[in-house]
């Protein structure tokens, strides 16, 4: 018995001894063409969505209680997850612990579980013991709760840790990202290396403070202007996106400012208060700007 199908049709014969071949049904071809057209269209839509990730920064206020920051981190992971963000980044030393941790500590597992529950990537930074040595390191956790890698801070600024040696660039399911930590922001060559490694978005968890002797007056205002100029400069120099995340504390010299920047402008920012900021990034702009500015794609 003939099986139903799009291309099914009456049996015809070519000549004596030849095998029977099905005749092509014109209506079936039209239907198949439409289906293929829809598939191609959906693929293009999916590709465009992948090129426009939603990223989030959590400028959280640090507390003194041992569990305070951990609960806040899980809270903001949930908030970012509800907004359908692809990734959330927290400030430098966001765990706010008195003792250095291993990457297998129960606190890290809690955060991993929160990422899995909310299907979101996360970046958390603190002092970690890795291979029996202490580093200021940022951990990258994926949507399934797995730690996919870590970046060890290269340019230390009074950190009681061993300096890192390698840049970090990782291809996620939404973009290729890089990670630096705080004072690294002041070193353009580091960002250039990540650009060459293909980084489209570079996250910078920080706890940025001003030096009293650096400014005669208006210390916070002048340092904030400096910080903004560096974010924009790193983004324009490399034609990618920069995301800086600072905390809120009672530290007098801390610059509590977080921002997401494209090569041309600040897309989202928050200052002197706790909160979550997000921005949908158009990664296609990187190709557009690379064509626009001679030599910048190198």
pLDDT digits (tens, 9 = 90+) for 139-150: 999 999 999 999
pLDDT of amino acid 21: 54
At the topology level, CATH places domain 54-292 in Nitrilase/N-carbamoyl-D-aminoacid amidohydrolase (3.60.110)
pLDDT of amino acid 70: 94
Distance CA 114, CA 84 (A): 14
Hey, which bits of 97-146 come out as E strands? Answer: 101-102, 121-130, 133-141
**Would you call 53 exposed, middle or buried from its count of C-beta atoms within 10 A (0-12, 13-18, 19+)?**
buried
Distance CA 206, CA 246 (A): 5
pLDDT tens-digit map of 203-251? 999 999 977 666 666 777 889 999 999 999 999 999 999 999 999 998 8
Q: How many residues does the chain have?
A: 298
For residue 8, is pLDDT > 70?
no
């Amino acid at each position: 018995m003939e099986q139903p199908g799009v291309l099914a049709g009456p049996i015809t014969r070519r000549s004596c001894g030849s095998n029977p071949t099905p005749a092509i049904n014109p209506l079936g071809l039209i239907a198949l063409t439409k289906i293929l057209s829809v598939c191609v269209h959906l693929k293009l839509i999916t590709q465009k969505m992948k090129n426009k990730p939603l990223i989030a920064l959590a400028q959280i206020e640090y507390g003194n209680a041992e569990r305070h920051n951990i609960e806040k981190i899980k809270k903001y992971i949930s908030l970012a997850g509800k907004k359908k963000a692809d990734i959330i980044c927290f400030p430098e030393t966001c765990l706010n612990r008195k003792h250095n941790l291993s990457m297998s500590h129960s606190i890290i597992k809690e955060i991993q579980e929160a990422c899995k529950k909310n299907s979101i990537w996360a970046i958390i930074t603190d002092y970690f013991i890795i291979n029996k040595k202490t580093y200021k390191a940022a951990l990258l956790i994926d949507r399934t709760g797995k730690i996919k890698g870590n970046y060890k801070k290269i340019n230390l600024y009074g950190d009681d840790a061993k300096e890192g040696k390698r840049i970090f660039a990782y291809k996620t399911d939404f973009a290729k990202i890089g990670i630096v930590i705080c004072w690294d922001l002041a070193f353009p060559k580091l960002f250039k290396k990540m650009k060459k490694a293909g980084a489209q978005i570079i996250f910078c968890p920080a706890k940025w403070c001003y030096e009293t002797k650096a400014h005669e007056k208006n210390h916070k205002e002048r340092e904030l202007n400096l910080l903004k100029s560096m974010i924009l400069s790193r983004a324009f120099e490399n034609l990618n996106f920069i995301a800086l995340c600072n905390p809120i504390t009672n530290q007098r010299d801390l610059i509590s400012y977080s921002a997401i920047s494209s090569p041309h402008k600040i897309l989202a920012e928050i200052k002197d208060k706790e909160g979550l900021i997000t921005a949908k990034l158009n990664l296609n702009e990187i190709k557009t700007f690379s064509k626009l500015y001679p030599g910048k794609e190198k």
